[in-house]
Amino acid sequence: MTFLAPLAAALAITLPAIVALYFLRIRRPTRIVPALDLWPDQIRDRQANVPWQRLRFSWLLLLQLLVAAVLVAAAVQPALSASASLAPHTIVLIDASASMQAKDVEPSRLDEAKRQVGAMIDQLGPQDRMTLIAVQSTARIVGSGSGDHDALHRALNAIAPANGPADLSAALSLASGIVRAGEESRAYLFSDGILEPLRTSFANGLPFPIEYRRVGVSGENVGLTSLVVRAGAQSRAAYLRVHNFGQQPRSFTLEWRSDAGLIDVRSVSLAAGQAEDLALPVPDAANTVTARIEAKDNFRLDDSVTAVARAPRAFHVLLVTPGNVFLEQALRLRTDFQLDVIAPAAYRSSTSYAMTVFDRYSPSAMPDAPFVMVDPPAGSPLAGGAQVGIGRVRASDAGDPLLNNVSLQDVHIAKSQDMRASTFGRALITSLQTPLVLVRDAPFRQVLVGFDIHDSDLPLRIGFPVLMQNLSEWMLPPSVPSRSFHPDETVTIVPENGAKTVTVVRPDGSRRQLATGSIATFADTDLLGVYMVEQTVSGNTDRSWFAVNLFSDTTSQLVPVDRLALPPSKVFSTAQTNHRGLIQVWPWIALLALVLVLAEWLAFHRGL
């Protein structure tokens, strides 16, 4: 046991003082009464004066001595050693991501983590400091280096769960940044271990040891992990993926509705670990469709998903080619493209097309618009050098989003123009011999392909239509992307030409005004549901939608991680300065004193 204020023991002088007061005799005023025999023969000495008298036993004296002794005991602030090992500066990282909303521990994983952190705050000694960091899609400090228990408790209680992922890398970088040089620190991560993979290696080690405290017990959960709407030739259909991540078979009801009303209700049964894909009808009038299950599981965020069902705005695209079925088919896969195909001789410069694809043809003047130039003829402005044989094909940057889901492993190209001297833009696909595909952002997003498609097996690969899709989406981004986004993911919104106002209405009804002049990024996507974008163009209001869903198998899996691979610490030993946390017991002792005071009051009134 430790005493935080040992000097307060001097207050024990009050005990002999109380006894001394009982030794003293009271000087009492004389009162004449009509009949003394009616008055009970009871005397209480409560007022000191001379001369001395013999000390008599009194329950009041006993209780008063007890009260004084207990108050002195509370004043010295005794504290018991706690189980937690605390450094002078404790850094607490609390995972407040989506998976921490699971209710496998009551009332939720986040609340359980907050309870444990609250107990740790109570154990802080008078010289200790604590920093609280909420680990969400963006880490943030909620309580900075404070020793004030109340302030830390307030900061802790203010942490609200988010629907996004937990970015531990950012949180650790943040924590590393706040540790002063030479300061002994220790970090605790309260989490279920469902975190984004570490982006930074922290090869030099963290400036503090970090300990993982697991929160959560069960991974029983049924989730909706995907919902997409596909337009066929005649109708549209939605494809929904339902996954039972738990160890128990589950039966539940699936409710399928559009913004116009309920469409279907069906029962679904899934074995443990089973996933099922369902095809669901989409009415023509529907703008959005929603699937909801009542699985009575531990996690609600993946029980409801939404998709935008409305067909996006169409683009006019021109393909100028002497004949290229591969390009034509790849472009026609875009349902929002209205494709015109013409021979090079028929080409006239026009501004009515949003994008033009030139195949083995170069006009005299390139259009001021997005275009794709494939194998420009020799002598044209974009043409490269002499043909060269091509060996292995690879991506310039494997993480380039334009190559998402595009595999170049089995792609072979016989020959290509030598584009090494081209100043067109950066290389997207390259080889040892020459860059093969180049892209540029200015003045418009444009693509230059240095080889004839027919000299390659690329169009025979599944990656080709995907590549064309990626490139065309990059060049002609929809005003409002109709796909589903993850929570906290940034959405790019391209205002329509002449749009006076652009407003985003969030699922909770709150509105955000965006700038109209340029491409806007919207990052307030923390809520799950449908976001509506309203644009005022020529006095008319144009509405479009995008959805935010959890759609994360990692999160929905929900199984808490027992052991977490955390970066090592570059601090070797902190045993000298680390100490056990303290559990202060003086409030309980003070409470006991209050009870004794009440007892003394009762004893006095009952004339004991």
Partner 1 sequence: MAALLEPPLLRRLEALAVLVRRAVKGQMGGERRSVSRGRSPEFADFRNYTPGDDYRLIDWNAYARLDRFVLRLFVAEEELPLSLFVDLSGSMDWGRPNKAAVARRLAGAIAYVALASLDRVRLTVFAEGPTSGGAPYRGRHAAQELFARIQSFPAGGPTDYSRLVSPITRQRPGMTVVITDGLGTSPVEPAIRALHHARQEGAVLQLLAPQEISLEWTGDARLKDAETGVEREFTATPATQAAYRTALARRTDEIERAAGRHGLRFARLTSDQPIEDMVQSTLRQVGLLG
Q: According to CB under 8 A, which residues from 283 to 312 bind partner 1?
A: none
Nearer of residues 3 and 604 to partner 1, judged by Cβ: 604
Minimum distance of partner 1 from residue 22's CB (angstroms): 13
Q: What six digits make up the tokens of 1?
A: 């046991």
Cβ-proximal residues to 365 (8 Å cutoff; 6+ apart), any chain: 349
Distance CA 197, CA 168 (A): 8
Q: Does 50 bind partner 1 (CB under 8 A)?
A: no
Minimum distance of partner 1 from residue 58's CB (angstroms): 11
Minimum distance of partner 1 from residue 42's CB (angstroms): 5
Out of 6, 9, 20, 47, which residue is the one contacting partner 1 (CB under 8 A)?
47
Nearer of residues 36 and 203 to partner 1, judged by Cβ: 36
Per DSSP (E only), the strands in 87-191 are 89-95, 129-135, 140-146, 185-191
What Cα–Cα distance (Å) separates residue 267 from each residue in 212, 250, 297, 452?
40, 11, 16, 53
Nearer of residues 563 and 606 to partner 1, judged by Cβ: 606
Tracing tokens 């559990």 back to the chain, one arrives at 583
Nearer of residues 40 and 51 to partner 1, judged by Cβ: 40
Q: Does 606 bind partner 1 (CB under 8 A)?
A: yes
Q: According to CB under 8 A, which residues from 565 to 604 bind partner 1?
A: 604
Minimum distance of partner 1 from residue 20's CB (angstroms): 18
Q: According to CB under 8 A, which residues from 516 to 535 bind partner 1?
A: none
CA dihedral in degrees (469, 470, 471, 475; nearest 10)?
Answer: 100
Minimum distance of partner 1 from residue 156's CB (angstroms): 47
Cβ-proximal residues to 151 (8 Å cutoff; 6+ apart), any chain: 143
Minimum distance of partner 1 from residue 56's CB (angstroms): 12
Q: What six digits make up the tokens of 164?
A: 């996004």
Nearer of residues 53 and 253 to partner 1, judged by Cβ: 53
Minimum distance of partner 1 from residue 39's CB (angstroms): 5
Mark the segment that binds partner 1 (CB under 8 A) among 45-53, 267-275, 407-415, 417-425: 45-53
Q: What six digits make up the tokens of 519?
A: 């491409």
**Sign, Cα dihedral of 549, 554, 558, 564:** negative
28 CB neighbour count, 10 Å cutoff: 10
Q: Does 197 bind partner 1 (CB under 8 A)?
A: no
Q: What six digits make up the tokens of 147?
A: 């020793």
Tracing tokens 């875009």 back to the chain, one arrives at 334
Minimum distance of partner 1 from residue 606's CB (angstroms): 5
- Asked if the peptide bond before residue 107 counts as cis, ω within 30 degrees of 0, the response is yes
Query: For residue 189, what are the β-bridge partners?
Result: 93, 212
Nearer of residues 32 and 442 to partner 1, judged by Cβ: 32
Question: With contacts defined by CB under 8 A, how many residues of the chain interact with partner 1?
Answer: 25
Nearer of residues 342 and 602 to partner 1, judged by Cβ: 602
DSSP state of 424: S
Distance CA 133, CA 91 (A): 7
Tracing tokens 């680390």 back to the chain, one arrives at 578
Q: Does 239 bind partner 1 (CB under 8 A)?
A: no
293 CB neighbour count, 10 Å cutoff: 21
Q: According to CB under 8 A, which residues from 247 to 266 bind partner 1?
A: none
Minimum distance of partner 1 from residue 608's CB (angstroms): 8
What Cα–Cα distance (Å) separates residue 166 from each residue in 160, 554, 581?
13, 12, 28
**Sign, Cα dihedral of 514, 516, 520, 525:** positive
Tracing tokens 């940034």 back to the chain, one arrives at 490
Could you give the string, one character per residue 15-44, with x where binding to partner 1 holds by CB under 8 A and - elsewhere? -----------x-xxxxxxxxxxxxxxxxx
Q: Does 127 bind partner 1 (CB under 8 A)?
A: no
Nearer of residues 43 and 442 to partner 1, judged by Cβ: 43
Nearer of residues 24 and 280 to partner 1, judged by Cβ: 24
Out of 10, 20, 46, 335, which residue is the one contacting partner 1 (CB under 8 A)?
46
Minimum distance of partner 1 from residue 68's CB (angstroms): 21
Nearer of residues 29 and 182 to partner 1, judged by Cβ: 29
Distance CA 367, CA 99 (A): 50
User: 348 with 470: CB under 8 angstroms?
Assistant: no
Minimum distance of partner 1 from residue 107's CB (angstroms): 48
Contact residues for partner 1 (CB under 8 A)? Answer: 26, 28-47, 604-607
